[in-house]
Amino acid sequence: MSWQQYTVFLLESIGIYNKDLMLHYYRKIKKFMIWHRNKYGVDIDKIPDFADCKLENQKKVISWRRIARAVEKNDFYLRRLSFAQTKNDDDQLKELIHKWDNLLNKSTKTDDKVLQKIINENY
């Protein structure tokens, strides 16, 4: 399975349980790809499956592995793709927490301290 296929698999898997969360990731990833196309001329069909790990970790290149890892790590704000936390994202996260409390609750395991803080505040 390629990293692109794995990314699609992850998004589809999330969509089975929580379509709103899948659409959130989809919109952010689409915005990420559009930015790279406009800034560097990298079309979706030219995105490499993976790149040098150092460059990926420094957020200097686009790759399907980088996108997949962000989704895989439940990076709601997609900081691994250079996005910042926004008020709109916070509001959307709060809505998702209340709507899908069986999936996002105090028992949710995440390394994201901001996400954990918002979950804790809403329970």
User: What is the mean predicted confidence (pLDDT) over 92-118?
Assistant: 74
Q: What pLDDT does residue 36 have?
A: 93
Phi-psi region of 114 (alpha: psi -120 to 50; beta: other; left: phi over 0): alpha
Contact of 121 with 93, CB cutoff 8 Å? no
Q: What pLDDT sits at residue 51?
A: 92
Contacts of 101 (CB under 8 A, 6+ apart): none
pLDDT in tens, 49-102: 999 999 999 988 999 999 999 999 888 899 999 999 899 998 988 888 778 766
**Residue 112 pLDDT more than 90?**
no
Alpha-carbon gap, residue 64 to 62, rounded angstroms: 7
pLDDT at 118: 77
Burial of 47 (0-12, 13-18, 19+ CB in 10 A): buried
Write the pLDDT tens digit of every residue in 15-59.
Answer: 998 899 999 999 999 999 999 999 999 898 999 999 999 999 998
Task: Please tell me whether the overall predicted TM-score, pTM, comes out greater than 0.75 for this model.
Answer: yes
CA 65 to each of CA 34, 58, 86: distance values in angstroms, whole numbers, following the listed order: 17, 14, 24
Can you give the pLDDT at residue 4?
95
pLDDT digit string, tens, across residues 74-88: 888 999 999 998 999
pLDDT confidence tier of residue 123, bands split at 50, 70 and 90: low
Residue 107 has pLDDT above 80, yes or no: no
Is the CB of residue 22 less than 8 Å from the CB of residue 14?
yes
